Amino acid sequence: MAKVIMIQGTMSGAGKSLLVAGLCRIMKRDGYRVVPFKSQNMALNSFVTEEGLEMGRAQVMQAEAAGITPLVCMNPILLKPTDHTGSQVIVNGQVLGNMSAREYFSYKRGLIPDIKRAFRKLEEMADIIVIEGAGSPAEVNLRENDIVNMGLAEIVDAPVLLAGDIDRGGVFAQLLGTLLLLTEEEKKRVRGLIINKFRGDRSLLDSGIEILEEKGGIPVTGVVPYMDIQLEDEDSLTERFRKKEKRKIDIAVIRYPRISNFTDFNVFEQIPEVSVRYVASAAELGCPDMVFLPGSKNTMSDLDWMRGSGLEAAVIKMAENIPVCGICGGYQMMGEHISDPEGMENGGTMKGMGLLPVTTRLKHEKVRRQVYGTVNKMEGFFSMLSGLEFNGYEIHMGDSGYSPNEFEISGAEEAFVTGRNKNVCGTYIHGIFDRAAIATALVTALAENKGLSIESCIDYKDFKEKQYDKLADILSGYLNMEEIYGILREAHIR
């Protein structure tokens, strides 16, 4: 039977996802079959597996670190927020429906059999399962019916490493306060503490660690430095949204309230001459070299927000002179109309931006599939993409077509859709720019537009592999891996 260890945190953003990914890569390099697991993830960044099932991208990242194919059993429950009080609930990769927070709180214990089945599948294929918690186990109002922190640790009998974020301050209070709010049985599961994101002289922490271990009664298994690792992070707390630096090539991504799958643009961040700025107002937009309209969890509401903020008018004007590309929800916004006869979002019909000659009809059935092929023939600015090989995935609740009666166009048939304005295109395919040839061709064309040359290109897959190794190298130097393997050997808690 597989050994199990769980990373929990004192708060969201404490670094759980990267710690799990790093442990997966370390254990893989040590010769173990290791897999990640998160029973319930809340995120708008999602992925579609080879089987056409939807899961959170954090577990995809962790699976890549472990050197294995992402499987939906690594994340059996995914919550995609639709507003401030509700989410779309996805179970085993398929949409169950929309629920308010209160409805889901009452319902979620019924999903324990699904969690157990998913976990058993992983047990059959792994030596070690590294589990990620969510938020904090000290949220006492959520202890009842918990299925992702200590509730899950009890279900699968997992020892816990508790991580605190020193970068945001108060790490000793975070860790001791969390331990104080745990029950005695829960506290017994905590076998080690991790101080994460430390900057400075490690010796200055010595006296604090001594007090922490004395008062908490649990050893510190590592002080991990703040790491410059370019991998996917939690979409709600990402630092990417705060970057405003402009480089030779300036790409602006519209940051609407319900932005999803902004991982589509991570590849461009790795090219030294390119800046990627997420903008939420017409004033922030400035004069970029290209604009992307990303995916959205609520296309109609986010288009309405763009309209009210002045960004819609600004982007339409810019499209006369610079390239504009919409992905998924952004592509839908760029059409003539969006209709919602089934009330999946706002209901009714809404006028689009009119940049592409397509009409979108939202519907209950979600399209989920991986796609690959060659880019269709394109004219104008995007002509350099014609004939290039691509791969990616579609995930959308709606079809788009060239007339209200024809809803057959999607990324599987045409990688990109264009219109009269040859500066404009749209696609349903997430991850289409991850291919080195496509990203390089696009950035090279943007540079040529400005009379510049770009020498840098990137193989994004190779880049991520190097980042996983870098992450593992750092963690190996700052975590007590001998102690962690000892915890695994003694993993039976009860």
CB atoms within 10 A of CB 313: 13
Residue 274's H or E segment, with its range, is: strand 274-279
CB atoms within 10 A of CB 139: 14
Per-position DSSP letters for 408-456, written without gaps between them: -B-TTT-S-EE-SSTTEEEESEETGGGSHHHHHHHHHHHHHHTT-----
Gap between the Cα atoms of 127 and 59, Å rounded:
18
Query: What b-and-e string marks burial along 218-243, b requiring 16 or more CB atoms within 10 Å of the CB?
Result: bebbbbbbebeeebbbbbeebebbee
Query: What b-and-e string marks burial along 110-121, b requiring 16 or more CB atoms within 10 Å of the CB?
Result: ebeebbeebbeb
Q: Would you give the distance in Å from CA 93 to the centre of its chain?
A: 15
Closest CA to 92 of 66, 74, 68, 70: 74
Q: Residues 186, 180: contact at Cβ < 8 Å? A: no
Residues 6+ apart with CB under 8 A from 384: 441, 442, 444, 445
Gap between the Cα atoms of 477 and 474, Å rounded:
5
| Strand, helix or coil for residue 349 | strand
CA 390-252-431 angle, to 5 degrees, is 20
Q: Is 328 a catalytic residue?
A: yes
Per-position DSSP letters for 279-341, written without gaps between them: E-SHHHH-S-SEEEE-EESSHHHHHHHHHHHTHHHHHHHHTTTS-EEEETHHHHHTSSEEEET
Gap between the Cα atoms of 65 and 492, Å rounded:
26
Q: Which of 73, 328, 396, 425 is catalytic?
A: 328
Say what the alpha-carbon torsion angle 61, 66, 70, 75 is, to the nearest 10 degrees.
-70
What does DSSP assign to residue 479?
B
* Bridge partner residues of 479 (DSSP): 222
Closest CA to 154 of 136, 137, 140, 178: 137
* Bridge partner residues of 97 (DSSP): 89
Active site residues: 328, 430
